[in-house]
Amino acid sequence: MCDRYPLDVILMCVRWYVAYPLSLRHLEQMMAERGISVDHSTVHRWAMKLLPVLEKAFRCRKRPVGKRWRMDETYIKVKGQWKYLYRAVDKAGNTVDSLLRAHRDKAADRRYFRKSIDQNGEPDTVTIDRSGANHAALDAIKADREVPIKIRQSKYLNNLMEEDHRAIKRRTRPMLGFKTFRCARILLAGIETMHTIAKGQMKCARGTHPSAADQFYDLAI
């Protein structure tokens, strides 16, 4: 990264990009209004470099989630084609995990569930839609577990999940799709990180109540 930009400026641009429905051009103009000349492509480069590091730091400080999950997929456009963002929240609406996949099938479902369980522990119950792939993937995972995972299939029990999808879509809409799968994966992970912090899912020092912005910046320390 260029030394002529202070770290706090870089972090602010990256946070704004994943926290709000802004395009890179918006950020370039907003920084110009503050007397800081930075090209939109530079902001994109900062995001690509910083977000994986910040996401990794956040995972070490994420609060545990509940044992009753609601899982669903939503569509994300990459290079003009629809891809699938697997996501889940617990009963309280806390983010469990997310994973971008090129296809919606049993293999993708299984990869998502294994990643989520590795990061968050095993759920007691998972509510899914009527997708056969979801059910087959969970059945395969259940076969390896001593304690079975209860599966519930209901279109209407996932309303909480649909609402949470909308929060992510609001942030991606100004981006007008992603040019590469890698770019989409990194930016979506960053958006999810900021969204999860805003929900209050990051562990903070006892007795402190930092803002979501300060928590995000603290990940860089």
Q: Which domains does the chain have, with CATH numbers?
A: 7-61+201-218 (no CATH), 68-181 (3.30.420.10)
pLDDT at 148: 82
* Residue at token pair 């609406």: 93
Written as one string, the DSSP assignment of 138-200 is HHHHHTT-SSPPEEEE-SGGGHHHHHHHHHHHHHHGGGTSBSSHHHHHHHHHHHHHHHHHHTT
Parallel, antiparallel or unpaired: strands 95-101 and 125-128: unpaired
Q: What is the pLDDT of residues 109-161, one digit of tens each?
A: 999 999 999 999 999 999 998 777 888 888 888 777 777 889 998 777 678 88
pTM for the full model? 0.93
Helices 181-198 and 40-59 meet at what angle, rounded to 10? 60
Q: Are 98 and 195 in contact (CB under 8 A)?
A: no
Q: What is the pLDDT of residues 154-195, one digit of tens each?
A: 777 678 888 999 999 999 999 988 999 999 999 999 999 999
Phi and psi at 57, nearest 5°, equal -65, -40
pLDDT at 36: 96
Parallel, antiparallel or unpaired: strands 81-90 and 95-101: antiparallel
Chain centroid to CA 100: 9
pLDDT at 133: 80
